[in-house]
């Protein structure tokens, strides 16, 4: 029993092409295309995605890959509507390389989480992380949160946005826990509250600018 | 005015009529910053909503909205399908099997709709999406709750109009338009416009 795969695309031909490529390396994996609209136009069709997921599930679960943002929304809705939403997962991955990596993993008998992981990590050039760290010396600072809600959803989102686009890898630490400064969810899960002191460290050519922007934001109490 | 299942069905019919009337306008808004299908997508979806309602109207407002949600999800085919679909689905869940809605239930429904769109699309105010129309609409509806359903919907529609206009100078950060970066500046977001149109139609039908 192997994990199944569904390729959700706006274009029927794109979905079929990706399936053709991926299935070639994995003869025993069910890889299905859910692309285009039933009448033949460009778009994503919820009902065909649901049907494909049901057909691809042999009992070991399904991994869904998608092309553009709104295909992700359709795929997520389809998964939520399953009798067991835990049976399938939508993965943010490069479509072609992700599909190939995922089918190969599924062919090898990997479970659903491992197949999803194979897709998600596909296409990242090896050693990206070390390269970013070499680009500039690490910088760090500590600051105490004075705003009422701490690093709750809105402040976390503002923080992530303030450093978006900078060439800097930012980590935020509270006590034992450390979070990616570019992920709203990760920041929220630190549960940093008012009066907590957080440590910010950054690497990359714009590390200093990233830290300055976060300090300025905290100085303004996250515009509360 | 109380608002039962038949009334909610009429609001949706009015919404569908507006979308049909503004189909070309919505397509034209979607052309420079998208794929020129927003008006077509929504018109197809709402057309199916109306024809399902013509067959049978569910017994509760929540039932009517759930039917609209599932129809939009399976018929729209673009981003607006999962977004409006999730919005209506959240509203249906929030309303449960209440037979009648008062003003506070309508405000709650609008809040649930916004929560649904945000949960699905992860957009924030300022990203130039329908969230820019719906967010001020919810705030205006909350402020006008004591004035009754028609008045609060009309306040929501006014705020949504302004919210839609406010997307013009913005750089789009979500959806297809976000691929254009700076070039998305100078265009009203089609989804924000359709949100404002729908709220206006609901407000007029509730009078
Ligand atoms: N992530 C999002 N969050 C909120 N609203 C969004 C998001 N993505 C798109 N939208 C809204 O959807 C509208 C576009 O709807 P439309 O039906 O034209 O879908 P589309 O972008 O063409 O979809 P697709 O990419 O599937 O073809 C935008 O104007 C915007 O208001
Ligand atoms: Mg479009």
Q: What are A60-94's pLDDT values in tens digits?
A: 999 999 999 899 999 999 999 999 999 999 999 99
Q: How far is CA A10 from CA B50, B69, B120, in A?
A: 26, 21, 18
pTM of the model: 0.78
* Residue in B164, B90, B85 with CA at minimum distance from that of residue A45: B85
d(Cα A159, Cα A182) in Å, to the nearest integer?
8
Collapse the DSSP code of A172 into the 3-class scheme (helix H, G, I; strand E, B; otherwise coil) and give the result.
strand
Q: Which ligand is nearest to the CA of B117?
A: 1
For residue A8, give both structure tokens. 């959700």
- Start-end of CATH 3.30.1340.10 domains in chain A: 139-219
Q: Burial, B13: exposed, middle or buried (Cβ in 10 Å; 0-12, 13-18, 19+)?
A: middle
Active site residue A182: no
Average pLDDT over residues A175-193: 88
8 Å CB contact between A8 and A35: yes
Residues 6+ positions from A83 with CB-CB distance below 8 Å: none
d(Cα A115, Cα A110) in Å, to the nearest integer?
6
8 Å CB contact between B136 and B180: no
Average pLDDT over residues B129-150: 98
Taking domain A4-121, whether its CATH number is 3.40.50.720 is answered by no
pLDDT of A129 reads 46
Q: Is B120 on the interface with A (CB under 8 A)?
A: yes
Residue of A187 and A8 predicted with greater confidence: A8
For residue B91, give both structure tokens. 């509203």
Class of the CATH domain delimited by A139-219: alpha beta
Structural domains for chain B: 5-206 (1.25.40.340)
Ligand 2 center from residue B195 Cα (angstroms): 14
Instruction: Report H helices in chain A.
Output: 12-23, 46-56, 69-80, 95-107, 112-120, 128-134, 153-162, 184-189, 207-219
pLDDT of B1 reads 52
What DSSP assignment string belongs to B47-90? HHHHHHHHH---SSHHHHHHHHHHHHHHH--STHHHHHHHHHHH
Maximum C-alpha span of chain B = 48
d(Cα B207, Cα B203) in Å, to the nearest integer?
7
Q: Which of A4, A6, A10, A222 is catalytic?
A: A10
8 Å CB contact between A75 and A90: yes
Q: Is the CB of B129 under 6 A from ligand 1?
A: yes
Protein residues near ligand 2, an ion, with CB under 5 A: B 30, 34-35, 37-38, 78
Provide the ipTM: 0.91
pLDDT value at B47 more than 90: yes
pLDDT of A161 reads 86
pLDDT digits (tens, 9 = 90+) for A145-181: 999 989 988 898 888 888 988 888 999 999 888 999 9
pLDDT of A204 reads 86
Q: Across the interface, which of B82, B174, B176 has its CB nearest the CB of A74?
A: B82
- Start-end of CATH 3.40.50.510 domains in chain A: 4-121
């Amino acid at each position: 029993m192997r994990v199944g795969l569904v390729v959700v695309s706006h274009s029927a031909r794109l979905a079929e092409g990706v399936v053709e490529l991926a299935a070639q390396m994995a003869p025993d994996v069910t890889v299905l295309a859910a692309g285009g609209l039933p009448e033949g136009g460009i778009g994503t069709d919820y009902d065909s995605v649901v049907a494909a997921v049901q057909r691809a599930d042999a009992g070991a679960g399904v991994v869904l890959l998608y092309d553009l943002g709104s295909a992700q929304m359709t795929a997520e809705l389809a998964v939520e509507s399953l009798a067991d939403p835990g049976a399938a997962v939508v993965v943010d991955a490069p479509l072609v390389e992700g599909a190939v990596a995922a089918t190969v993993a599924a062919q090898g008998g990997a479970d659903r989480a491992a197949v999803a992981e194979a897709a998600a990590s596909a296409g990242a050039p090896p050693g990206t992380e070390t390269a970013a760290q070499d680009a500039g010396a690490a910088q760090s600072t500590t600051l105490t949160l004075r705003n009422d809600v701490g690093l709750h959803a809105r402040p976390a989102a503002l923080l992530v946005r303030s450093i978006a686009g900078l060439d800097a890898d930012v980590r935020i630490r509270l006590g034992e826990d450390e979070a990616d400064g570019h992920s709203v969810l990760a920041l929220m899960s630190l549960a940093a509250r008012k009066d907590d002191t957080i440590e910010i460290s950054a690497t990359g050519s714009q590390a200093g600018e990233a830290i300055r922007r976060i300090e300025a934001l905290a100085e303004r109490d996250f515009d509360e | 005015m109380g608002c039962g299942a038949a009334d909610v069905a009429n609001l949706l019919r009015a919404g569908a009529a507006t979308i049909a009337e503004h189909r070309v306008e919505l397509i034209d808004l979607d052309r420079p910053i998208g794929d020129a299908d927003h008006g077509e997508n929504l018109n197809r979806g709402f057309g199916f909503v109306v024809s399902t309602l013509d067959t049978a109207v569910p017994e509760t407002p929540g039932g009517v909205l759930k039917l609209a949600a599932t129809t939009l999800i399976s018929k729209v085919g673009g981003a607006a399908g999962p977004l409006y679909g999730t919005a209506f689905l959240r509203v249906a869940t929030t309303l449960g099997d209440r037979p009648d809605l008062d003003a506070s239930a309508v405000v709650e429904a609008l809040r649930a709709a916004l929560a649904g769109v945000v949960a699905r699309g992860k957009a924030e105010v300022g990203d130039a999406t329908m969230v820019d129309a719906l967010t001020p609409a919810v705030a205006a509806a909350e402020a006008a709750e004591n004035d009754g359903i028609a008045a609060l919907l009309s306040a929501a529609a006014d705020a949504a109009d302004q919210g839609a206009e406010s997307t013009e100078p913005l750089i789009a950060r979500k959806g297809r338009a976000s691929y254009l970066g700076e070039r998305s500046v100078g265009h009203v977001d089609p989804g924000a416009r359709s949100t404002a149109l729908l709220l206006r139609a609901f407000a007029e039908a509730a009078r």
